[in-house]
Amino acid sequence: MPAELRPTPSSRGSQLPVISLFAGAGGLDLAVERVADAPLSSPSSPTPGPYRVAVATDYAPQALDTLALNLPGTVTLSGDIRETSTSELLRAGSMASGDAALVIGGPPCTPFSKSGFWLAEKRESRDPNASLLEEYVRVVAQSKPEAFVLENVQALTYKTHKAHFDQLLSALTELGYNPQWKTLLAADYGVPQLRKRVFIVGRRDGKAYKFPEPTHAGPSETTRTWDLSKLPHVTAQQAFEGLVTTPEKGELLEGKYGELAAEIPGGQNYLWHTSRYGGRDEFEWRSRYWTFLLRLAADKPSSTLQAQPGPYVGPFHWENLPNEEGNLRARRLRVPELLRLMTFPDDFRLIGSRADIQRQLGNAVPMELGKAVLRALTLQLGYVDPETVNDDRLVRSTSSAVLIS
């Protein structure tokens, strides 16, 4: 499919241009453009920062429609990255090789996701889409950005995919970018979601990127002790504070498991209905995925939001609502609640059906997690003077980057 070029926006002053690959609905793009905003804030008028997303590309035109609706100053290219040349991206963003401050993006995680391990080709790392990592490297090699940020699922670092991962790091090292990688838990950076993602960051000058220190701490699937000097994880209930929502069509969980789901307490899943817990003895122990009939716990962060959940895959809200017959049923999360769990602005607009919206948000990078990684990179690249930092708002003037208090 040839790339489809959309209208070119007007210039946005002296902000540094960014190339966004596999942009989707724009989670990392939002983080780039709002990196100057204070953490955990989504003002209606974002603070101008040092960057602008000059061009964004993705295979899914609908996701790009969403991105364009929220970032109207970005040129979008719809098409297969394997058929989109770097020169085409540079031309669309009015850049030459070496002009871009950053290349950002998360190649589709399907080949490396744990949820795909039931397919032999994914367990054995034979998925042809894994080649999209090579396309990312190709664009970095040819566009020569000052730095890059690559995001993916944690499973990319597993032994199963070691060959792909090592090849990726080797290729980026040969380009002189000295790539550094780390798996980050979104909740440790103020995101009300226990979502793990690996980030790989490299600088053209070869200096090693230093990942930001977590600002929050708390229990997780693999954490039983944590740093009490940090802020506690943001809970789902805290995330929803002040949010007014309206019922959505089809939000109640009906069908075979609707009654069972309504009986499961917040924070529990189908295991509630096994012989070991207090519900009905309906299921064998550990016979389903953890997310089957999973309910949100109000006092904890959410589990990872999935892009394409089955009809009985959670997390579902902790509250029950009556259906037309007056029977209590669990309900699916509403779009404004999904936005809060992804730390997207409340006024973020999405195009498509409810399933389309779930897919776009489930595939996105939580904005605050992206901001944390990008804020650290911005400081280390010297666009702000770390000695004068007295808050986290970064502002770029026409001549240099400065901080305001």
pLDDT at 161: 85
Task: Find the helix or strand (DSSP H, E) in which 373 lies.
Answer: helix 367-380
* 91 and 213 fall within a common domain: yes
* 211 and 286 fall within a common domain: no
pLDDT digits 0-9 by tens, 126-163: 455 558 999 999 999 999 999 999 999 988 989 888 88
* 269 and 129 fall within a common domain: no
* 289 and 396 fall within a common domain: no
- Let me know if residue 57 belongs to a domain: yes
Give 3-state DSSP helix, strand, coil % of the chain, rounded to 5.
30, 20, 50
Segments of 246-346 assigned E as strands = 302-303, 320-322, 328-330
Q: Which amino acid is at 227?
A: D
* 147-153, strands of its sheet edge to edge: 4-5, 75-78, 51-58, 16-21, 102-105, 147-153, 196-203, 180-185
Contacts of 69 (CB under 8 A, 6+ apart): 349, 351
pLDDT at 159: 87
Last residue of a domain, one of 283, 316, 333: 333
Which candidate, 114, 115, 112, places its Cα nearest to that of 127?
A: 112
**Mean pLDDT, to the nearest integer, of 115-133?**
50
* 118 and 179 fall within a common domain: yes
pTM here? Answer: 0.89
Q: Is the pLDDT of residue 120 over 60?
A: no
- Let me know if residue 391 belongs to a domain: yes
* 186 and 292 fall within a common domain: no
Which candidate, 202, 187, 197, places its Cα nearest to that of 114?
A: 197
* Contact between 230 and 215 (Cβ < 8 Å): yes
pLDDT at 52: 97
- Among 114-123, 124-133, 324-333, 346-355, the minimum mean pLDDT is found in 114-123
- Measured in degrees and rounded to the nearest 5, phi and psi for residue 174 equal -60, -25
Which candidate, 97, 93, 96, 61, places its Cα nearest to that of 79?
A: 61
- Let me know if residue 322 belongs to a domain: yes
* Residue-number span of the structural domain to which 275 is assigned: 247-333
Q: Is the pLDDT of residue 116 over 70?
A: no
Q: Is the pLDDT of residue 392 over 80?
A: no
- Measured in degrees and rounded to the nearest 5, phi and psi for residue 37 equal -75, 145
Q: Which two tokens stand for residue 357?
A: 């919206």
* 49 and 153 fall within a common domain: yes
- Let me know if residue 231 belongs to a domain: no
pLDDT at 46: 86
CA 355, CA 12: separation in Å to the nearest integer? 34
CATH code of the domain in which 121 resides: 3.40.50.150
Between 354-362 and 61-70, two packed helices, what is the crossing angle to 10 degrees? 80
- Let me know if residue 347 belongs to a domain: no
- Let me know if residue 375 belongs to a domain: yes
pLDDT digits 0-9 by tens, 192-215: 999 999 999 999 999 999 999 999
Q: Is the pLDDT of residue 48 over 90?
A: no
pLDDT band at 387 (very low <50, low <70, confident <90, very high): low
* 58 and 181 fall within a common domain: yes
pLDDT band at 110 (very low <50, low <70, confident <90, very high): low
245 CB-contact burial (10 Å; exposed 0-12 / middle 13-18 / buried 19+): middle
**Mean pLDDT, to the nearest integer, of 309-322?**
96
* 391 and 296 fall within a common domain: no
Q: Which residues are catalytic?
A: 109
* 216 and 258 fall within a common domain: no
∠ CA 110-103-116, nearest 5°, is 5
- Let me know if residue 237 belongs to a domain: no
Beta bridge partners of 292: 313
- Let me know if residue 345 belongs to a domain: no
* 373 and 324 fall within a common domain: no
For residue 68, give Cα distances in angstroms to 65, 75, 250, 270, 320.
5, 8, 28, 40, 36
- Measured in degrees and rounded to the nearest 5, phi and psi for residue 389 equal -70, 120
* 165 and 261 fall within a common domain: no
Which candidate, 195, 190, 125, 193, places its Cα nearest to that of 153?
A: 195
pLDDT at 126: 46
Mean pLDDT of the chain: 88
CA 120, CA 219: separation in Å to the nearest integer? 33
Residue corresponding to tokens 């997303």: 53
Query: How many domains would you assign to the chain?
Result: 2
SS (H, E, C) 196-263: EEEEEEEECCCCCCCCCCCCEECCECCECCCCCCCEECCCHHHHCCCCCCCCCCCCECCCCCHHHHHC
- The two beta strands, 75-78 and 51-58, are parallel
